[in-house]
Amino acid sequence: MCPGFESLIRHHFFLLRASPRISSVQLSKLLSGVFLSTALAATAAYAQLRTIPPDAQRGEMRHLQDMIVEINGAPRRLAAGAQIRDAANRIVVPTSVAAKTQVRFVVDAEGLVRRVWILTAEEAAKR
Q: Does residue 126 have a pLDDT over 70?
A: yes
| Mean pLDDT to the nearest integer, 6-33 | 63
d(CA 58, CA 127): 9
Residues 39 and 62 in one domain: no
Co-location of 40 and 80 in the same domain = no
Pair (120, 62) in one structural domain: yes
* Residue 68 phi, psi (nearest 5): -120, 130
Asked if residue 99 and residue 67 are part of one domain, the reply reads: yes
Do 23 and 61 have their domain in common?
no
Residue 51 lies in a domain: no
Same domain, yes or no: 15 and 65: no
Query: Pairing relation of β-strands 74-85 and 113-118?
Result: parallel
pLDDT the model gives residue 27: 57
Does residue 119 lie within any of the structural domains? yes
Q: Structural domain of residue 38, as residue ranges?
A: 3-46
Residue 29: inside a domain, yes or no?
A: yes
pLDDT in tens, 65-105: 999 999 999 999 999 999 999 999 999 999 999 999 999 99
**Are the beta carbons of 59 and 87 closer than 8 angstroms?**
no
Residue 103: which of 81, 76, 65, 111 has the closest Cα?
76
pLDDT at 61 over 60: yes
| 7 has a pLDDT exceeding 80 | no
Q: How many residues does the chain have?
A: 127
My answer on whether 35 and 67 are in the same domain is no
Question: Based on the structure, what is the number of domains in the chain?
Answer: 2
Do 92 and 61 belong to one domain?
A: yes
Q: How many CB atoms lie within 10 A of CB 94?
A: 19
Both 119 and 68 in one domain: the answer is yes
Position 39 scores a pLDDT of 63
> For residue 86, what are the CA distances in angstroms to 69, 96, 99?
15, 10, 14
61 and 121 together in one domain: yes
